[in-house]
Amino acid sequence: MPKNLQEMRERVCQANKSLPEHGLVKFTWGNVSEVCRELGRIVIKPSGVDYDLLTPENMVVTDLDGNVVEGELNPSSDLPTHVELYKAWPEVGGIVHTHSTEAVGWAQAGRDIPFYGTTHADYFYGPVPCARSLSQEEVDSAYEKETGAVIIEEFERRGLDPVAVPGIVVRNHGPFTWGKDPAQAVYHSVVLEEVAKMNRLTEGINPQVEPAPQYILDKHYLRKHGPNAYYGQKDDNH
């Protein structure tokens, strides 16, 4: 059943407001969007507007190419990145971008976030990848659009499934996460930030730590997301 545009506005507004509540953003350093391919619409946070001032009515509505169709405000400057990911990945319904501290640390270090334990395995089937930096030509030509292209390139290069690995850090930039809807995308951002912190602490305690065994990854990921998943209740979104 096609989504209702007003309900999309409300979900996207609430998801954006939840970013500071979860400690994922300072000032206006983050955005959430939702796509409805049946309606041909994307709803996203307006650029540079404080979270306290967000309402369903001031969310920006665009078509699937990122052209504004409703709203007086400019959309988030990261909209072209969201558009590229939505076009490439039909399974994705919501996207989050933040500059959350711990995840940015790994992005600036140019490192994948390794799989060290079960918290990670419950949501990410393997390391969270770190995409390469953009070239000067990419930055100069269409920076935000090319950021999306670099994320897609990294997933294609590694043969990753964006449903099984619902996030990435872009080198010298920060994290992007996604999910079936905005709420799940935010949830994955919270998990990513927490795992990034856990891993930093882990490496500080034991600089020679090795990734956890594959069988632990398989057990914990598949008990939540596999064909015979048994964790949680039947209507559990997470």
Question: Tokens 């596999």 appear where?
Answer: 226
What is the band of 237 on the pLDDT scale with cuts at 50, 70, 90?
very low
CB atoms within 10 A of CB 109: 13
State the CATH number of the domain containing residue 25: 3.40.225.10
231 pLDDT tier (thresholds 50, 70, 90): low
pLDDT digits 0-9 by tens, 52-66: 999 999 999 999 999
Of the pLDDT bands very low, low, confident and very high (cuts 50, 70, 90), residue 232 is low
Tens-place pLDDT, residues 85-144: 999 999 999 999 999 999 999 999 999 999 999 999 999 999 999 999 999 999 999 999
Which pLDDT score, from 0 to 100, does residue 62 have? 98
The DSSP output letter for 215 is H
Residues 6+ apart with CB under 8 A from 3: 36, 38, 39
Say how many CA atoms lie within 13 Å of 160 toward its Cβ. 22
Q: What is the pLDDT of residue 226?
A: 75
Residue 233 lies in a domain: no
Give the type of residue at 229. A
Whether residue 231 is contained in a domain is answered as: no
Residue 235 — pLDDT band, cuts 50, 70, 90?
low
The verdict on residue 236 lying in a domain is: no
Residue 151 has which token pair? 């994320």
pLDDT digits (tens, 9 = 90+) for 137-169: 999 999 999 999 999 999 999 999 999 999 999
Is 25 part of a structural domain of the chain?
yes
Average pLDDT (184-196) is: 98
Domain-located, residue 35 = yes
What is the rounded average pLDDT of the residues 159-186?
Answer: 98
Work out how many domains the chain is built from and give that number: 1
Tell me if 218 is assigned to some domain. yes
Contact (Cβ atoms closer than 8 angstroms) between residue 136 and residue 146? no
> Would the pLDDT of 214 be above 90?
yes
User: Are the CB atoms for 166 and 176 separated by under 8 Å?
Assistant: no
* Residues 19-46 pLDDT 10s: 999 999 999 999 999 999 999 999 999 9
Q: Could you tell me the CA-to-CA distances from 41 to 34, 67, 90, 96, 153 in Å, in that order?
A: 8, 10, 14, 17, 25
The 3-state secondary structure of 156-184 reads HHHCCCCCCCCEEEECCCEEEEEECCHHH
Dihedral over Cα of 175, 181, 182, 183: its sign? negative
Query: At residue 70, does pLDDT exceed 70?
Result: yes
Domain assignment present for residue 141? The answer is yes
Higher pLDDT, 195 or 225: 195
| Nearby residues of 46 by Cβ (< 8 Å), 6 or more positions away | 54, 58, 59, 60, 71, 73, 74, 75, 76
E strands, 38-129, in order: 41-44, 60-62, 68-70, 94-98
The pLDDT of residue 198 is: 98
pLDDT at 229 over 80: no
Active site residues: 122, 231
Domain that holds residue 29: 5-225
Residue 233 is given by DSSP the state -
Task: Look at residue 1 in the predicted model and tell me its pLDDT.
Answer: 43
Structural domain includes residue 128: yes
